[in-house]
Chain A
Amino acid sequence: MNPVHYELSHLETLEAESIHIFREVAAEFERPVLLFSGGKDSIVLLRLAEKAFRPGKFPFPIMHVDTGHNFPEVIAFRDRIVSDIGERLIVASVQDSIDKGRVTEETGPRASRNRLQTTTLLDAIEEHGFDAAFGGARRDEERARAKERVFSFRDDFGQWDPKRQRPELWTLYNGNIRKGEHVRVFPISNWTELDVWQYIATEELEIPSIYYSHERQVFARDGMLYAENDFIELMDGEVPFSESVRYRTVGDMTCTGAVRSTATTLEDVVAEIAATRITERGETRADDRVTEAAMEDRKREGYF
């Protein structure tokens, strides 16, 4: 027997690691939930969950925190894909949190519901009694995330304390928690953006149309291109124009920028990502630009 045959590619190794994490959580927690945004990373999570549990059903529901400011294409995609795979969807709505007085809507041209999501998310986790929540965060995305564990412990306020993280060795994950606490689990921690795209191409996964190049009315602000939409007020001098763009990340229409692109196929997109010289969050996310530690601060509060 020639050992040379027993080799795995980097995607196969990453996939096996992620499937292992999914099954550990299913076995050790009572009420897990899979957080789904409709973005590329959570689409990969869905496929990994299928690989971990088919021909059985997922031993957890899927939850979307809906800000009400999502791209309509993404919401339509979400509903179709969840129904196609025959799993259960919970929608936690930021609008409901606003209506109940749990949070107050920001105002002005830079208003965003990005930060409000945290309250909606934590309320939903508490309401449903979830003790583990899968998320699609990756360590290559952002500086604070580079230091976060696969099992990221949250206290009963949902807070992350970067200095009190549990050491994580081998493939042994410590999921011990008390009632009221929960763990955020990141099965694709070790994947890079390019890995995610290569996997989507290899698995031929369907993704929302806004990831492909399309003509859209956009305007420029802070060096990014935003879609003209009902949720964002234009400031003086901001004039919408038509441009061929695509999205590199999927977030709210109020804080997610588009990039100029002519990539109309998955191969084009992968080629574009492989050649890019700017990180996805740096290029397309206003929510990370507030301060140097914007992501760390939001994560401490309980953000994704």
Chain B
Amino acid sequence: MKAISEMQDNGSVPAPAAAATQNAYAVRRRNSELLRIATAGSVDDGKSTLIGRLLHDSKSIFEDQMEHVVQTSERRGDGYLNLALLTDGLRAEREQGITIDVAYRYFATPRRKFIIADTPGHEQYTRNMVTGASTADVSIVLVDARKGVSEQTRRHMYIASLLRIPHLIVAVNKMDLVNYDEDVFYTILEEVTNWSSRLQIPDITFVPISALHGDNVVDRSDAMQWYGAAPLLYHLEHVVIAQDRNLDDVRFPVQWVIRPMSDSHHDYRGYAGQIAGGVIRPGTKIVALPGGQRTTVAAIDTYKGELEAAFPTMSVALRFTNEIDVSRGDMLVEADDQPTTARELEAHICWMSDRPMSPRGKYAIKHTTRSARAIVEDIEHRVDINTLEHVKADQLNLNEIGRVRLRCSAPLVVDPYARNRTTGSFILIDESTNDTVGAGMIINATS
């Protein structure tokens, strides 16, 4: 296992003293923010090495996990430290040396806690990428410096855009193999920038890295003095995500009604849910949709007492000044800022099942806390996710993305996905198998 010692020598492994300081920090600091990252990529583009590097350099790989990787790499004759073994947890994955699913990895620095949703990057895993991207704050797209922008790069950027991941980091990797050449980096930057003008990505950052040697991953690279900005981890620690949540439109899908009917709380009614948008305060005047009943928030209850304000993504219970008939599936909003109550939806759908989606197909639809049935009225087109071309399609096959019109059996209370990722998304369920077969992002809606 020569390669292992080489990697450790080449890498910028923090001294034990530094690690101890960091851990002491972690004990004191319980108030760090949570950042969700999506990565996609295949074995050759160095994604596993990058994740391994982030985990390793932030001291998040435990000794027994590392020992397992060393032993298994050796036994399999990989000839290098196969950090993919850290994330590939299933027997079939280890036997076949592939990633077949979304793996979740966790690491922390003194500033933030990170969740990485790590997915395979090939086209046949589009559904896994979409799944991993659905909750992400940041997407890391890897570009091989030797190969430049590839079909895979464009695909990953399109998925990040479609799923409205607010921040994109393009990590130009393997800079060591192009002599850390500034021109190579800027050529790729320009090409990606041109391509991204066709997408909806509000914030793109470019970082030239060598995941293998650790350049610009955690520490600034000595070999790339020409790159004036911060290394990758710094961006992950500092990207501002608080503004990404929708604080403008009050959206509160009612999940559960708390009615103790005990002696001490005989008349208590708390409408429980997780806030999907806006800021709610005692005194906020609300309308319950689709019914249209009006009332005012009297109090925001939590286990630890009442709050003065509640905002996404808090889970709370609301009390009203007067009783109205509200139950699970209703959406509480402000009267002057209402979403659309609609039975007809136009949406992008990523298809996730072997059985294709066809016109007239019927499915169960789940949107916020409301369920109904939906029929496919029309498949307008399929999107070629490598070229962004619209292609005429009679059906949507596994891993395909298309623009579709649906009609629902009951009205849903929706926003465009671009406005709100919670009230703008839905899933489709095949009622014969109970499988989740489609992921939908609403474009517009009509009653």
Contacts and interface: CB of A to CB of B under 8 A. Distances in A.
A139 B63 contact: no
A27 interface: yes
Interface string A268-299: 00110011111100110000000011001000
Interface stretch (A31-39, A45-53, A60-68): A45-53
Contact of A56 (B31, B259, B302, B313): B259
A26 interface: yes
A147 interface: yes
Contact of B303 (A51, A190, A267, A277): A51
Given A3-B242, A166-B436, A296-B90, A274 B24 contact: yes
A143 interface: yes
B99 to A, nearest CB: 10
A251 to B, nearest CB: 17
Contacts of B315: 15-17, 19-20, 23, 51-52
B295 to A, nearest CB: 20
B112 A52 contact: no
B369 interface: yes
A57 B262 CA distance: 9
Interface stretch (B126-134, B199-207, B332-340, B377-385): B126-134
A57 B268 CA distance: 13
Given A19-B274, A140-B106, A279-B62, A10 B101 contact: no
Contact of B134 (A170, A192, A271, A275): A170
Given A10-B113, A51-B303, A274 B23 contact: yes
A3 B262 contact: no
Given A52-B315, A55-B268, A147-B102, A3 B436 contact: no
A256 to B, nearest CB: 16
A8 interface: yes
A60 B161 CA distance: 41
Interface stretch (B7-15, B177-185, B190-198, B418-426): B418-426
Given A27-B328, A147-B89, A163-B92, A20 B311 contact: no
A151 to B, nearest CB: 10
Contact of A163 (B34, B88, B100, B273): B100
B301 to A, nearest CB: 8
A167 B127 contact: yes
B65 interface: yes
Interface stretch (A72-80, A120-128, A171-179): A171-179
A63 to B, nearest CB: 21
B34 A14 contact: yes
Interface stretch (B212-220, B221-229, B427-435): B427-435
Interface string B117-145: 00000000001101100110000000000
Given A26-B256, A166-B436, A274-B27, A174 B108 contact: no
Nearest to A4: B242
Contacts of A275: 20, 23-24
B372 interface: no
Contacts of A27: 255-256, 328, 369
Contact of B106 (A12, A192, A270, A278): A192
Contact of B364 (A15, A176, A198): A176
B255 A143 contact: no
A172 B20 contact: no
Nearest to B352: A167
Interface residues of A, number: 73
B260 interface: yes
Contacts of B435: 166, 174
A270 B30 CA distance: 11
A82 interface: no
* Of listed B103, B256, B427, B431, residue having the most chain A CB within 10 A: B256
A107 interface: no
A279 B65 contact: yes
A171 B422 contact: yes
B431 to A, nearest CB: 8
Interface string B304-345: 000000011111000000000000100000000000000000
Given A170-B421, A194-B108, A16 B274 contact: yes
A282 B62 contact: yes
A1 interface: yes
B108 A8 contact: no
B105 interface: yes
Nearest to B259: A56
A145 B32 CA distance: 25
B298 interface: no
B247 A8 contact: no
Contacts of B65: 279, 282
A25 B176 CA distance: 50
Given A3-B243, A9-B32, A10-B112, A172 B91 contact: no
A178 B134 CA distance: 27
A54 interface: yes
Interface string B133-161: 01100000000000000000000000000
A278 B65 CA distance: 8
A176 B429 contact: yes
Contacts of B274: 16, 19-20, 171
B265 interface: yes
B115 interface: yes
Contacts of B173: none
Given A10-B112, A278-B63, A296-B90, A146 B302 contact: no
24 contacts: A8-B34, A8-B313, A9-B30, A10-B113, A14-B34, A16-B314, A23-B255, A23-B315, A27-B256, A51-B302, A55-B264, A56-B270, A142-B89, A162-B90, A163-B90, A163-B100, A167-B131, A167-B352, A169-B436, A170-B425, A172-B425, A274-B23, A274-B24, A293-B91
Interface of B: 20, 23-24, 26-27, 30-34, 62-65, 68, 72, 87-92, 94, 100-106, 108, 112-113, 115, 127-128, 130-131, 134-135, 242-243, 245, 247, 255-256, 258-260, 262, 264-265, 268, 270, 272-274, 279, 302-303, 311-315, 328, 352, 364, 366-367, 369, 421-422, 425-427, 429, 431, 434-436, 439
